[in-house]
């Protein structure tokens, strides 16, 4: 991936750059909004990491200027992490929003999702298949090796998210945001509990196991 990191805090920006390079991704940096717009006009990127509080033009203003133009997907990375901030960021055109402080793994997974979605032409279809697991979305039916699997609404939603990104890591926070919506912070590890139940249904009686736990980050299917 070619990543543009727009961040005025040098320590954070250096750290992200080092980690991205370590994961085999190329990075360019901008310390303010105007610099970011200049680089976006000159070079091609797969994804942009955008801080909100920036000198010259702040992140929201950058999003506003990008609106309506062809631009790579933008992940807003900000200490402004209240629900209203997230809603404002996403409404302004951000493709994802991550609050500070953050796990690099979480950031990397989200950037990879954005970059892949950007490169992919069509949205996942009505029938999703991962190995011998098949999901018919309109019919709300899941089978493995032809055997019907009965899922609750939440389990179905979680499996749908995982099957839409086969082989890709999906973080716990991403699952929570997508299955329960922004603004819900459970006091308990609800995602783990539901994924545990889901695993019992899709993997227990079948081989090989499809649902993998990615330690301390999230899950991947297939």
Q: Which residues bind another protein (CB under 8 A)?
A: 9, 11-12, 15, 79, 81-84, 87, 99-104, 152-154, 180-188, 190, 193-194, 196-197, 216
SS3 content of the chain, % helix, strand, coil (to 5): 40, 20, 40
Q: Closest CB to another protein among 39 and 90?
A: 90
C-alpha angle 25-168-67 in degrees, rounded to nearest 5: 65
Q: Closest CB to another protein among 13 and 165?
A: 13
H or E element that contains 111: helix 104-119
CA distances from 176 to 108, 155, 181 (A): 17, 12, 7
Smallest distance, another protein to C-beta of residue 130, A? 23
Instruction: Retrieve residue 51's tokens.
Output: 């801080």
Smallest distance, another protein to C-beta of residue 65, A? 24
Alpha-carbon distance 15 to 12, whole Å?
5
Q: Closest CB to another protein among 180 and 206?
A: 180
Smallest distance, another protein to C-beta of residue 118, A? 26
Q: Closest CB to another protein among 80 and 135?
A: 80
């Amino acid at each position: 991936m070619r990543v543009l990191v727009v961040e005025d805090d040098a320590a954070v920006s250096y750290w992200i750059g080092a980690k991205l390079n370590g994961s085999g991704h190329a990075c360019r940096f901008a310390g303010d909004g105007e610099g970011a717009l200049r680089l976006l006009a000159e070079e091609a990127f797969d994804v942009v990491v955008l801080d909100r509080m920036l000198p010259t033009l702040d992140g929201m203003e950058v999003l506003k200027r990008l609106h309506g133009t062809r631009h790579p997907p933008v992940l807003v990375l900000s200490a402004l992490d209240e629900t209203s901030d997230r809603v404002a960021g996403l409404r302004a055109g951000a493709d994802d929003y991550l609050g500070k402080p953050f796990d690099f793994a979480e950031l990397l997974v989200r950037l990879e999702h954005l970059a892949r979605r950007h490169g992919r032409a069509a949205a996942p279809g009505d029938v999703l298949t991962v190995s011998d697991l098949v999901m018919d979305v309109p019919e709300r039916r899941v089978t493995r090796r032809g055997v019907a699997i009965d899922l609750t609404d939440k389990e179905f939603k979680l499996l749908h998210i995982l099957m839409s990104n086969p082989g890709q890591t999906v973080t716990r926070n991403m699952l929570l945001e997508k299955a329960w919506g922004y603004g819900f912070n459970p006091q308990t590890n609800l995602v783990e509990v539901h994924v545990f139940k889901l695993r019992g249904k899709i993997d227990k009686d079948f081989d090989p196991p499809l649902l993998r736990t990615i330690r301390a980050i999230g899950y991947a299917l297939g």
